[in-house]
Amino acid sequence: MRVVVAPDKFKGCLSAPEAALAMARGVSAACPEAVIDLVPMADGGEGTVEALVAATHGSFREVTVTGPMGEPVIARFGLLGDGKTAVIEMAAASGLVLVPQSRRDPRVATTRGTGELVCAALDLGCRTIILGIGGSATNDGGAGMAQALGARLLDERGLELPPGGAALRRLARIDASGLDSRLRSASIRVACDVANVLCGPSGASAVYGPQKGATLAMIGELDEALGHFARIIARDLQRSVDNLPGSGAAGGLGAGLVAFADGSLTPGIDLVVAAVDLHRRMIGADLCLTAEGAIDASSAFGKTAVGVARLARSMGVPCLALAGVIGDGAEMVLAEGIDAYASIAPGPGPIEDAIAFASHRLERATEGFVRAFLAGRRRLSHG
């Protein structure tokens, strides 16, 4: 029997590679002769670099870049097994987790470090870059990223703007002549799972600004600045980004990547499925097993397990899913490719136990799922 094991992380408990190994042990216990293909998965957010490096037998790189508040930070990104594709999480360089609560200020936070990570990937010869843009501390529309890549953002006196979204109100002209020429032959694929536009009530500043430290007054200031930025981009770069779905992601970094790097905004799970070559790896499989921390109504709208299951169903491969928690509306995933789902929890208990024993419980639940699958298959073969 050939089994594809393609789980996401269990946040706070297991990384996707750890989950895959636990599930593989369960498969082997139930079916020692099974051929198992481990494909750790992600949705473009936290854990994407680790999952894709593991799934493709790639490697990690570390570089020192500019952090969101201007201080140097060590950021890690991945080089996939093909040696030509980089995978970057912007949060590693420009993330909210890098800024203590007391210092959060989206008026001055910068995405420069994210641009420096892109440069580092280009230096390695990568011409395909997958960029996850969740968890940002920034609201600068990708201005800092653009400056790191060689664009000049100038005020009325011809001086370079300082870091941060608030300074964009003073932007008079964009000089893109110094943009890294390697971008012209690069494919920047942006994992973006939100449809927020750049400005307005559903824009970057209003929706995500408060979690980054923005007050009501700051939100108005930042929204006005991003609107002005979009108008200058339209005039100087001939790119319309203000009403583009996803342009408001990561404090407007979505807009900046489209404008300055010709980035394409794509659902994260689609990028990951393509990057790990899941379609090829699913060919000839008898069973696909996936897993994630929770399965509920929201899972049906493109979370990792459903992304895996949709592909499996399209290829005629049964797909079973395990989760730490089964929430309201979980049955909706049955229409999306998951043939059956179950919790790994043996029953109610303290959260500390759920975390401490997650690997063991996932292993045992996988074993039980596979034994049930084999029993059903035997019955059909004798029926």
pLDDT tens sequence across 300-309: 887 899 999 9
- Do 356 and 243 lie in one domain? The reply is no
**Mean pLDDT of all residues belonging to the chain:** 95
- Do 83 and 221 lie in one domain? The reply is yes
- Do 209 and 333 lie in one domain? The reply is no
In degrees and rounded to multiples of 5, residue 182 shows phi and psi of -65, -20
Structural domain containing residue 253: 48-268
- Do 167 and 240 lie in one domain? The reply is yes
In degrees and rounded to multiples of 5, residue 242 shows phi and psi of -70, -35
Alpha-carbon span 373 to 369, nearest angstrom:
6
Query: Which of 245, 268, 291 is the endpoint of a domain?
Result: 268
Instruction: Check residue 340 and report its DSSP letter.
Output: E
CATH of the domain at 82: 3.90.1510.10
Query: Which of 268, 297, 328 is the endpoint of a domain?
Result: 268
pTM: 0.91
- The per-residue pLDDT string of the chain (383 residues; one tens digit each, 9 = 90 and over) reads 999 999 999 988 999 999 999 999 999 999 999 999 999 999 888 899 999 999 999 999 999 999 999 999 999 999 999 999 999 999 999 999 999 999 999 999 999 999 999 999 999 999 999 999 989 999 999 999 999 999 999 999 999 999 999 999 999 999 999 999 999 999 999 999 888 999 999 999 999 999 999 999 999 999 999 999 999 999 999 999 999 999 999 999 999 999 999 999 999 999 999 999 999 999 999 999 999 999 999 898 878 999 999 999 999 999 999 999 999 999 999 999 999 999 998 877 777 877 889 999 999 999 999 999 999 887 776 65
Q: Which long-range contacts (CB under 8 A, 24 or more apart) does 372-375 make?
A: 373/287, 373/318, 373/320, 374/1, 374/30, 374/31
Count of the separate structural domains present in the chain: 2
- Do 139 and 196 lie in one domain? The reply is yes
- Do 59 and 204 lie in one domain? The reply is yes
Q: Among residues 249, 116, 260, which one has the least CA distance to residue 191? A: 249
Q: Quickly count: other Cβ atoms within 10 Å of residue 33's Cβ.
A: 6
Alpha-carbon span 119 to 123, nearest angstrom:
6
- Do 262 and 371 lie in one domain? The reply is no
Residue entry with tokens 């298959």:
377
- Do 291 and 254 lie in one domain? The reply is no
- Do 260 and 283 lie in one domain? The reply is no
Alpha-carbon span 61 to 78, nearest angstrom:
6
CA distances from 368 to 31, 32, 335, 361, 374 (A): 11, 14, 23, 11, 10
Burial of 277 (0-12, 13-18, 19+ CB in 10 A): middle
Query: Which of 268, 289, 311 is the endpoint of a domain?
Result: 268
CATH of the domain at 331: 3.40.50.10350
Report pLDDT digits (tens) over 69-104: 999 999 999 999 999 999 999 999 999 999 999 999
Alpha-carbon span 291 to 16, nearest angstrom:
9
Burial of 32 (0-12, 13-18, 19+ CB in 10 A): exposed
- Do 100 and 196 lie in one domain? The reply is yes
- Do 258 and 362 lie in one domain? The reply is no
- Do 108 and 210 lie in one domain? The reply is yes
